[in-house]
Structure 1
Amino acid sequence: MLDDFLIRAALAGIGLSLATGPLGAFVLWRRMAYFGDATAHAAILGVALSFAFTAPVYAGTLATALAMALAVTALARRGHAMDAALGVLAHTALAAGLLAASFIAGLRVDLSAYLFGDILSVTRSDIFVIWAGGACVAGLLLWRWQALLTATVNEELAQAAGIRPDRERLVLTLALALTVAVAIKIVGALLIASMLVIPAAAARGFARSPEVMAALATLAGVLATLGGLFASLRFDTPAGPSIVAAAAVLFALSLTRARSRRGG
């Protein structure tokens, strides 16, 4: 019989995969991996501010991640190089969060849990938040699926079809901020981008359509969660990094299959 905390951890990881699967596909298609990384780094500032103002951590991380995403988007619209804006804001927000935490008197929370995740400590209320957030992200992407795909493939074609590419970018920005807020306790700020990118990259070699890729990316996230938790229990390794490592194994297997298909 599995321990109760392992069941909670598995449920949390599966709920997160509902969001990271389809969203990760768009992150790859739009080459937004660094954008997701920067948004996740900013979440640490949100954690520190949440403790400073005794606010819920999920609310603080969501607000800060959303502010970061909107700030980067605004800078890009004004002609600033996207990679430079992401680099400056991401590392500044991460440093500011760690510095802010050092000034909070009586803070007894180890921020490393929010940097690298602590999925084994999730509570039943955390599971509710994670599943609600994952369902909201999945529902939002499903609702805007065709418009998002069209805007991703060709923005001029999207405009001709009456679709506003800037609105679809905002949808992805909102989805990314919500995913970061949900994921920070599971895999941590430093590993969130990995769970967005690696399962989707593993699924790409097997997919025949965008919809299949999104579904397979979700499945890969679930398998990585279960495999990482098993490895963590078996080898006494940190759960968050173990989940990411399991996802990397799935990606390596996908590369092997792709090479065998080309050879055949």
Structure 2
Amino acid sequence: MDPLGSFLVRAALAGVGVALAAAPLGCVVAWRRMAFFGDATAHAAILGVAGALTLAVAPVWGALLAALAMGAGVAWLSERGWAADTALAVLSHGALAVGLVAISLVGVRVDPEAVLLGDVLAVSRGDLAVIWGGAAVVGALLWWRWDRILVATLGDDLARASGVDPDRERAALTLALAVVIAVGIEVVGALLIAALMVVPAAAARPWAGTPERMVAVAMGIGATAALAGLWGSWAWDVPTGPAMVCAATGAFAASAAWDRLRG
């Protein structure tokens, strides 16, 4: 019996794979206060999906290139005097609008709801390989540069004094963020992939004595939320991607309540 023959098994593995890749990156994003950057990058990925469909290539490659282009665009505008939040807002909403228009114009029939909210129940074996391969790449990148990323997170001046190039670490973080968004769009969609990064990290914060512990707890919360959301989707016939984020949000609410109770 083929364990991957069931679409529910494939969906569970896809959700867990994205959650495990997104959680540690979400911790770094939260520490650096870059949550809006994650949203902007995900919105840009919609335009990349439209371009990939037009060129008849895998959507994941279009999403990856568009996400990287968003990071480069924000850096370029910031270097020329634009406030980072203004640049993010303009590029984020502009890319979202242009991407949705482009999807409606491509010759291939595409369901915009699947791009925005994901369609994890349609994940194939090939999609699983891409998702877990992307998760492995992100994990290896963070493992390799973990100490440098932590130092750069504390401040650019401290990083330079420690021999760390903060611009290089930002580039590595942008690359990891682009990979997670590219492989996660099919699971929770472009509108919610940033939430699957940030919400488990926020839920893990009250339980974290060290950065590494926060990452471990966030990964556990993210994987549990993915499975709980899949179960809720099956039980109540609701969209799976939003159900996963709802489960993660419930974990955050419980964590925040417990943290308040214990003072």
**TM-score greater than 0.5 by the shorter chain:** yes
* TM alignment of 1:51-200, pairs within 5 A: 51-105=53-107, 107-200=108-201
Counterpart for residue 23 of structure 1: 25
Question: What's the offset of the Cα at 1:82?
Answer: 0.8
Counterpart for residue 10 of structure 1: 12
Give the conservation status (yes or no) of the 8 Å contact 1:62–1:177: yes
Q: Which amino acid letter does the alignment assign opposite residue 74 of structure 2?
A: V
* TM alignment of 1:169-248, pairs within 5 A: 169-248=170-249
Q: Which amino acid letter does the alignment assign opposite residue 115 of structure 2?
A: Y
Give the conservation status (yes or no) of the 8 Å contact 2:45–2:63: yes
Identity of aligned residues (%): 54
Distance of 1:197 and 1:247 partners within structure 2: 10
Question: What's the offset of the Cα at 1:3?
Answer: 8.1
Give the conservation status (yes or no) of the 8 Å contact 1:117–1:186: yes
The more displaced of 30-39 and 149-158 is 149-158
Q: Which amino acid letter does the alignment assign opposite residue 164 of structure 1?
A: D
Distance of 2:30 and 2:159 partners within structure 1: 19
Question: What's the offset of the Cα at 1:154?
Answer: 2.5
Give the conservation status (yes or no) of the 8 Å contact 1:16–1:134: yes
Q: For 1:31, what is the secondary structure of its paired residue? A: coil
Unaligned runs of 5+ in 1: none
Distance of 1:257 and 1:103 partners within structure 2: 49
Aligned residues: CA RMSD: 1.4
Distance of 2:105 and 2:6 partners within structure 1: 36
Name the count of aligned residue pairs: 261
4+ residue segments displaced more than 6 Å: none
Q: Does 1:49 align with 2:30?
A: no
Distance of 2:80 and 2:163 partners within structure 1: 24
Can you list the C-alpha shifts for 1:135-165, whole angstroms capped at 9, x where unaligned?
A: 1001101110000001101221211111000
Distance of 1:3 and 1:223 partners within structure 2: 22
Give the conservation status (yes or no) of the 8 Å contact 1:18–1:135: no
> Closer, same or farther in 2 for the Cα pair 1:51/1:203, shift >3 Å?
same
Distance of 1:206 and 1:242 partners within structure 2: 24
Distance of 1:236 and 1:102 partners within structure 2: 27
Distance of 1:98 and 1:198 partners within structure 2: 26
Distance of 1:102 and 1:257 partners within structure 2: 46
TM-score, normalising length: structure 1: 0.96
Q: Which amino acid letter does the alignment assign opposite residue 14 of structure 1?
A: V
Question: What's the offset of the Cα at 1:103?
Answer: 2.4
Give the conservation status (yes or no) of the 8 Å contact 1:66–1:174: yes
Can you list the C-alpha shifts for 1:151-180, whole angstroms capped at 9, x where unaligned?
A: 101221211111000100101000001111
Q: Which amino acid letter does the alignment assign opposite residue 187 of structure 2?
A: I
Can you list the C-alpha shifts for 1:186-220, whole angstroms capped at 9, x where unaligned?
A: 00000011101100000011010000001111111
Distance of 1:8 and 1:104 partners within structure 2: 28
Unaligned runs of 5+ in 2: none
Counterpart for residue 37 of structure 1: 39
Distance of 2:253 and 2:235 partners within structure 1: 21
Q: For 2:68, what is the secondary structure of its paired residue? A: helix
Distance of 2:103 and 2:252 partners within structure 1: 36
Q: Which amino acid letter does the alignment assign opposite residue 230 of structure 2?
A: L
> Closer, same or farther in 2 for the Cα pair 1:3/1:129, shift >3 Å?
closer
Distance of 2:215 and 2:161 partners within structure 1: 26
Question: What's the offset of the Cα at 1:2?
Answer: 11
Question: What's the offset of the Cα at 1:99?
Answer: 1.5
